[in-house]
Amino acid sequence: MVLVALPLATVNNVSASTAIIAPPLATPLVAQQKTAVILSSLDHVYPMGQYRTDMVYYLTHAGYQVTALNDTAVTIDFLLTQLNNYQLVIWRTNTYTWKHVEYWYVGELDSSGVETQYANDFAQGFMNGNAGIVGVNLNWFQEHFTAGTLNKVKLMILISSDSDSFASIFVAAGATTVIFANGAIDLSFGEIDDLTNQVLGSMYAGQNVYSAVYGAVSPFIQNANPEDPLDTSYTPPFWYQGDGTLTL
């Protein structure tokens, strides 16, 4: 029997017996777009004006895609179904009292359709429409923002009187950090808007929540013994709960 030796085929001068075919290159990963929303429930009465422009500037330059909703565009449905689609939420509103219960304005106008859709909340007093604009109380937040409902939210900024009342509810629902106002505030003078812009500007510059909030508040803190007897100590009603090391 005659054996005939055949040469091995080569691929680019590499023996076929040892040639290695490289796998296709993996598709490059694209960073997920960060999203932020600014809700101004009383903008027709207390417009944000330049303050919103500044907020949008800081956020867009920090890599966020920003959505801004005013007045009636801020709805119960949006609060219940959309907040967890944003990494950063700014909600600017304020309060009113009905029968000794404090409510926060949502923005959506009261109507028979809203009262029918959320009949149970209205019946229990969790929602109220006597101001013409739908309002929600502390029980409403406790009822609807349970564990995990805000687990995608990194930072919430609540520009409103007594927002410390429900900040802890949002943290328990999963928000990493919530900045809030302590006590009563007045949107008409822009103090809290200005403080918010200072915080965002500081975070845009690289500071974390603690440094940014403390830096905005501390210049206002007066000495315990004012030189002028007419001076009184003052600290802006502004602080946070959650992770103080959080950055934009």
Give ∠ CA 179-189-140 in degrees, rounded to 5. 45
Q: Poorest-confidence range of 2-11, 57-66, 107-116, 145-154? A: 2-11
- Write down the pLDDT at residue 237: 83
> Quick one: tokens of 139?
């029980």
- Write down the pLDDT at residue 15: 42
Is residue 17 assigned to a domain?
no
pTM beyond 0.75: yes
Question: What's the mean per-residue pLDDT of the chain?
Answer: 88
Residue range 91-119, pLDDT digits in tens:
999 999 999 999 999 999 999 999 999 99
Is residue 182 assigned to a domain?
yes
Is residue 78 assigned to a domain?
yes
The contacts of residue 194 (CB under 8 Å, 6+ apart) are 51
Question: Does residue 16 surpass a pLDDT of 50?
Answer: no
Distance from the Cα of residue 61 to its chain's centroid: 16
Residue range 128-183, pLDDT digits in tens:
999 999 999 999 999 999 999 999 999 999 999 999 999 999 999 999 999 999 99
Residue range 190-230, pLDDT digits in tens:
888 998 999 999 999 999 999 999 998 887 665 545 555 56
- Write down the pLDDT at residue 49: 95
Question: Does residue 28 surpass a pLDDT of 70?
Answer: no
The contacts of residue 184 (CB under 8 Å, 6+ apart) are 161, 162, 237
- What's the CATH number where 161 sits? 3.40.50.1460
CB burial readout 53-69, b (16+ within 10 A) else e: ebbbebbeebebebebb
**C-alpha to C-alpha distance for 20 and 172, rounded to whole angstroms:** 54
Question: Does residue 20 surpass a pLDDT of 70?
Answer: no
- Write down the pLDDT at residue 12: 44
> Quick one: tokens of 131?
């101001």
How many domains does the chain fold into? 1
Cβ atoms 238, 159 nearer than 8 A = no
Is residue 81 assigned to a domain?
yes
- Write down the pLDDT at residue 232: 61
pLDDT band at 231 (very low <50, low <70, confident <90, very high): low
Is residue 26 assigned to a domain?
no
- Write down the pLDDT at residue 30: 47
Range of the domain at 58: 32-94+142-221+233-242
Is residue 152 assigned to a domain?
yes
pLDDT band at 1 (very low <50, low <70, confident <90, very high): very low
Is residue 203 assigned to a domain?
yes
Query: In 3D, which of 89, 96, 48, 109 has the Cα closest to residue 179?
Result: 89
Is residue 1 assigned to a domain?
no
> Which residue's structure tokens are 């959080």?
246
